[in-house]
Amino acid sequence: MSDIKILFGRRLVVLRRKKNFSQEALANESGLARSYLSSVERGLTNISILNIELIADILGYKPYELLYFPKGWIREKRKPKR
């Protein structure tokens, strides 16, 4: 199972860049600290559902779109051979 924080962070980076937002611009628009957004994007920090909604709205997405991970993004951990 992949770490959901890392997946979410990767997805946020992709969608933010598609809309030509820098971390700083998104931070200014949202009122969130740039360092917080950076730690979310690196998968180091949990993000609240309220902040997901806020960021999605600013970027012009629905909140569920930030939680959609395209095929190939999620890799199952393989069980060790016996």
Task: Please report the pLDDT score of residue 75 as a whole number.
Answer: 62
Domain spans, the chain: 4-66
Q: For 52-75, what is each residue's pLDDT tens digit?
A: 999 999 999 999 999 998 877 666
Rounded to 5 degrees, what angle do the CA atoms 19, 23, 27 make? 105
Rounded to 5 degrees, what angle do the CA atoms 13, 16, 19 make? 145
Q: Please state which CATH class domain 4-66 belongs to.
A: mainly alpha
